[in-house]
Amino acid sequence: MFTQNLHTMKSSGFTTGQNTSLVLLRILIGWHFFYEGILKIYNPAWTAKGYLLSATFLKPFFTWLASDSVIHIVDTLNIVGLLAIGVALLLGLKIRWAAIGGILLLAFYYLAHPPFPGFEQGLTEGSYWIVNKNLIEMAALVVLYQFPTYAAFGLERMLSRNRQNTIAG
């Protein structure tokens, strides 16, 4: 068993099944981030102001982010962040940086409206207690950070293969 697994391992050290699962997770999260970014960039009226002003936790901080002098920076950073993280995860470039960025962004979303007991939940499509989809997506990004799939799928595979081949040639 062990030897067979060793045979199917790629340069990353993962089995094909492991690689496929990790790549699938990466593409789905990249997809999610990128689509959110695209929707916002095509809608000039979009702003995070409402979401920030209605924060139920760390109110002073989120209210400050929503203030007139700061909100434009917050909106721009959010859109650029969503797009960059989405592109990185989909194309397989700088996956670890994207994972860190994604975790940070999701932490903001999570902390503004955390599903803590006693906190107002607003509109949700499910029932949550401490754990919600933002938190799960953050955990999934931690996995992607720990198990980057550069070599299995994406532009960095090409770059690294190219490097290897150049060296070999």
Residues lying near other proteins in the complex (CB under 8 A) are found at 27, 30-31, 34-35, 38-39, 42-43, 45, 49-50, 53-54, 63, 67-68, 86-87, 90-92, 122-123, 152-155, 157-158, 161-162, 165-166, 169
Looking at the Cβ atoms of 31 and 57, the one nearer to other proteins is: 31
Distance separating alpha carbons of residues 81 and 49, to the nearest angstrom: 17
Residue 126 DSSP class: S
Instruction: Kindly tell me which of 5 and 162 has the beta carbon lying closer to other proteins.
Output: 162
Residue 131: phi, psi to the nearest 5? -95, 125
Extract the tokens encoding 19.
């690689």
- Within 42-94, residue ranges assigned H as helices are 49-53, 59-65, 68-91
Q: Which is nearer to other proteins, 2 or 60 (CB)?
A: 60
In angstroms, what is the minimal distance from the CB of 30 to other proteins? 8
Q: How far is the CB of 43 from other proteins (least distance, A)?
A: 5
DSSP 129: B
